[in-house]
């Protein structure tokens, strides 16, 4: 499975932008056929039903499905909306990149990432004798630091202003792609699912070090580094939170 997660400002989501996204979800690689606020999904997807979809989202959440491919969407109290896509593992990298690009054209992305499920688990999953979970990825964690660098990482305009990406231009196998709304996509020029996970994680660690390792969660460094956002991005997130709290419920 390919795991894609995009973060957008909740105050920027309106009927027009959602209608564009709703149409996008009906196309590959998602090809939605059903939707609802929770499982089981009882509503049949149609491009004319964007208003119904937005109403469900505003009232607690929305799930769309096209077979094994799914999208889960929730507005968070932090002022961000989380869009999580689960796509087929053999989906072409170009199709994943195009999905992110088209999404960002309709609705500016604050931050986003895409990777295989195994890579995500290698970075975040914690297992003990009686339970398991994922660390460094909660909505409150995101208020303090970025979850990491992945096969594809999206830096929205505010984040792009906060980092110097020039050192990445000389890294082998790393591609920088300009996005709409002054965003930037940093992606590895290799398959989404790596043959060598250790090498993948090392490459991503090098990218994080070039940008500032303390800005990105890393389970191997959590005892030695106090992770934190760039000050200007932390202020931006605070503004999103305050604006969202001021919206009448």
Domain boundaries, the chain: 2-245
Lowest-confidence pick of 85-94, 98-107, 122-131: 122-131
pLDDT at residue 220, rounded to an integer: 82
Mean pLDDT within 141-165? 96
3-state secondary structure of 84: strand
Q: What mean pLDDT, rounded, does the chain reach?
A: 94
With b meaning 16 or more CB within 10 Å and e meaning fewer, what string describes 53-70? Answer: bbebbeeeebbbbbeebb
Q: Is the pLDDT of residue 101 over 80?
A: yes
pLDDT at residue 131, rounded to an integer: 66
Q: Which of 83, 99, 129 is nearest to 192 (CA)?
A: 99
pTM: 0.94
Q: How confident is the model at residue 224 (pLDDT cuts 50, 70, 90)?
A: confident
pLDDT per position as a tens digit, 2-57:
999 999 999 999 999 999 999 999 999 999 999 999 999 999 999 999 999 999 99
Q: Which two tokens stand for residue 244?
A: 């969202």
pLDDT at residue 135, rounded to an integer: 85
């Amino acid at each position: 499975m390919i795991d894609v997660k995009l973060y957008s400002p909740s105050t920027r989501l309106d009927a027009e932008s959602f209608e564009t996204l709703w149409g996008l979800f009906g196309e590959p690689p998602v090809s939605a056929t059903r939707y609802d606020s929770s499982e089981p999904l009882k509503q049949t997807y149609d491009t004319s039903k964007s208003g119904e979809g937005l109403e469900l989202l505003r009232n607690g959440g929305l799930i769309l499905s096209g077979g094994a491919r799914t999208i889960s969407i929730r507005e968070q109290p932090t002022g961000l909306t989380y869009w999580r896509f689960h796509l087929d593992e053999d989906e072409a990298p170009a199709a994943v990149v195009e999905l992110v690009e088209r999404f960002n054209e309709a609705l500016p992305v604050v931050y986003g990432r895409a990777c295989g499920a195994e890579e995500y688990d290698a970075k975040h999953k914690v297992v003990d004798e009686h339970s398991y979970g994922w660390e460094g990825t909660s909505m409150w964690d995101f208020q303090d630091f970025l979850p990491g660098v992945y096969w594809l990482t999206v830096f929205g305009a505010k984040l792009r202003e906060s980092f110097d990406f020039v050192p990445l231009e000389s890294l082998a196998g790393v591609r920088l792609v300009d996005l709409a709304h002054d965003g930037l996509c940093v992606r590895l020029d290799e398959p989404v699912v790596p043959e060598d996970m250790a090498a993948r994680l090392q490459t991503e660690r090098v990218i994080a070090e070039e940008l500032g390792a303390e800005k990105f969660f890393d389970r191997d460094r959590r005892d030695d580094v106090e992770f934190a956002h760039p000050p200007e991005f932390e202020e931006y997130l605070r503004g999103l939170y305050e604006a969202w709290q001021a919206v009448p419920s």
